[in-house]
Structure 1
């Protein structure tokens, strides 16, 4: 079965803005196209950043733009904290990767739950315990904790980051149509479900008529 590959990050504001459209897309392609998640790693390692007043102002500007475009609401009170918060997206990405390994059928729902927790409920999803609490609907917390710290999950998360960069995806959300042999860019940045479905139909029509026109 051909599939859609969704490259995202739980702490990417545009990915949060895209969440309702992605939910519609998932429902529309169910049984026709598999949806696979790849974590992009928006701010990890040396790119992780302390929440300074200047950075908070920059984030607030981005969040306002997302709201204006998508109508997704943000709790801006999160940006007023002074507890030394570090905007590091690796733990949340690792948690989504973990859910994909343990309970793949709930991975997207977990991603949505993390986004709502961070952007609307002011939860610090850089903290393993918070990530485990949110996952508790699907996974036992002690099982989650064991997997979260395992070398296998840490390495799988790194592989997602490397794959995203190998595909030259540096902005999120991104959707790629994969035939197994070909990788075809479907959308990059926020898009409406109807437009994406139209893009899928166009790709599939061209693959049927002129399969050699696409490059991997």
Structure 2
């Protein structure tokens, strides 16, 4: 399929969402399998913003959620993450994380999925705060980007403006839980799947949506996955 005919997909994710971390390997495999026919954009959700931007200790459910995510998806969490949760002092601030993604996403030649995965490794493996500019310097180095440009963009006020724009975009699409994968179509954004999806189910959903005028395929949901309450 020529590049101009690729389907546009939006991945609604939050860098602090454990379910999004668990969904990562499935999304990566799906994206690689269908690279010839999709374009994937990553948009940040505001899971921990405003009054919810609190230290880890304010969320005692996180250790149990970690176990649920591992059981369902098979992903493993790093010792750095375990230490950060045990200390409980890291503030979960999705606005800062969204500004970080925006700073990475704006760099020439970047894969948005690579950027999202690198951010989640920083937190869920290494236990590093996504409010720390040095985290983005390290990610930029890892991805072969201009580290000074990335950290400057993260620290600039425009980064928070772009973060809020992401949050508004997902609210307009009525995305209320994360992760969510959407197909952008003439009929609007059509949900394709989430944390309990498989590569096969996502590819089948894409097949049907690309051959059906009005998408009808239902998707499964996990009420607890990354929902801002």
TM-score (norm 2): 0.83
Counterpart check, 1:162 vs 2:165: no
Report the counterpart of residue 224 of structure 2 in structure 1. none
Q: Distance in 1 between matches of 2:136 and 2:124?
A: 14
Q: 1:123: how far off?
A: 1.8
Unaligned runs of 5+ in 2: 218-229
* Bigger share in helix: 1
Q: For residues 41 and 104 of structure 1, do their structure 2 counterparts lie closer, same or farther at Cα, with a shift above 3 Å needed? A: farther
RMSD: 2.1
Q: 1:39: how far off?
A: 0.9
Which aligned segments of 4 or more residues in structure 1 are displaced greater than 6 angstroms? none
Q: Distance in 2 between matches of 1:27 and 1:177?
A: 16
- The equivalent position to 1:19 in structure 2, one of 18, 24, 39, is 24
- The equivalent position to 1:68 in structure 2, one of 45, 68, 71, is 71
Report the counterpart of residue 199 of structure 2 in structure 1. 193
Q: Distance in 2 between matches of 1:110 and 1:178?
A: 21
Q: C-alpha offsets along residues 15-71 of structure 1, whole Å, 9 cap, x if unaligned?
A: 10011101111111212111111111211222212222x62x310011100000011
Q: Distance in 1 between matches of 2:197 and 2:55?
A: 30
Counterpart check, 1:38 vs 2:38: no
Report the counterpart of residue 110 of structure 1 in structure 2. 115
**Aligned-partner SS, 1:74:** coil
TM-score (norm 1): 0.87
Report the counterpart of residue 225 of structure 2 in structure 1. none
Q: C-alpha offsets along residues 104-127 of structure 1, whole Å, 9 cap, x if unaligned?
A: 533211211111121112222221
Q: Distance in 1 between matches of 2:208 and 2:185?
A: 14
Q: How many residue pairs were aligned?
A: 208
Kindly indicate whether the alpha-carbon contact (under 8 Å) linking 1:50 and 1:87 is maintained by their aligned counterparts in 2: yes
Q: For residues 34 and 158 of structure 1, do their structure 2 counterparts lie closer, same or farther at Cα, with a shift above 3 Å needed? A: same
Kindly indicate whether the alpha-carbon contact (under 8 Å) linking 2:97 and 2:130 is maintained by their aligned counterparts in 1: yes
Q: Distance in 1 between matches of 2:110 and 2:161?
A: 21
Kindly indicate whether the alpha-carbon contact (under 8 Å) linking 1:135 and 1:141 is maintained by their aligned counterparts in 2: yes
